[in-house]
Amino acid sequence: MHDLASLTPLGAKAPHTDQIGGVTITEVTDRALASVTCRIGQGPAFQTAAKTLFCMALPGPGTSATGSPFTLIWTGPDQWFTEAPFASHEDIASIIKTGLGDTASVTEQTDGWVRFDLHGAVVDLLERLCSAQSRRMKTGDATRTLLEHMGCFVICRQTGAHFSVLAPRSFAGSLHHALCAAARSIA
């Protein structure tokens, strides 16, 4: 029998939190994640099914939308990341696929990505690391950018005070190091 233990993207048993000056950096592991893509020729049927399943309109370019229990993040034309609480949506891809049927292609992404939430004076931190217009971003804005040469998504959860950074899980250590170094530089 195998003795397997789940680990966070940073390799620990529990999510890591850093408090550096006025910035809190938290590894987020309690969210399930799936990618959703509208299939060719299924636009109207997909829009109807998505609105019924998610109980909100799909966000457009450069934005995200939060409802209960889903958050949708626009990632490209006819593509979104979908987040939901892991405790209730561990099998998020199956749940979404059931709701959207043949109108969409859905792929499980939960363990393929790392998410860090940034709270506090984070605009200055982000300006040191990436070209995202974090000072201009409002609640619900989302953008794809390079952060220290790593492809990431930056999502503004609360204007000026709470951002999330999503990156491929293989970047977890490097991304964490970059965020902490930038936080120390503004502390």
Return the percent helix, strand and coil in the chain, to nearest 5: 30, 40, 30
Neighbours of 134 (CB within 10 A): 22
Beta carbons of 103 and 49 less than 8 angstroms apart = yes
The dihedral built from the CA positions of residue 88, 93, 95 and 99, taken in this order, carries a sign that is positive
Tens digit of pLDDT at every position of the chain (187 positions): 678 888 999 999 999 999 999 999 999 999 999 999 999 999 999 999 999 999 999 999 999 999 999 999 999 999 999 999 999 999 999 999 999 999 999 999 999 999 999 999 899 999 999 999 999 999 999 999 999 999 999 999 999 999 999 999 999 999 999 999 999 999 8
CATH hierarchy code of domain 17-29+112-186:
3.30.1360.120
Domain with CATH 3.30.1360.120 in the chain: 17-29+112-186
Q: Which CATH superfamily is domain 31-110 in?
A: Heterotetrameric sarcosine oxidase (3.30.70.1520)
Euclidean distance between CA atoms 175 and 165, whole angstroms: 9
pTM: 0.94
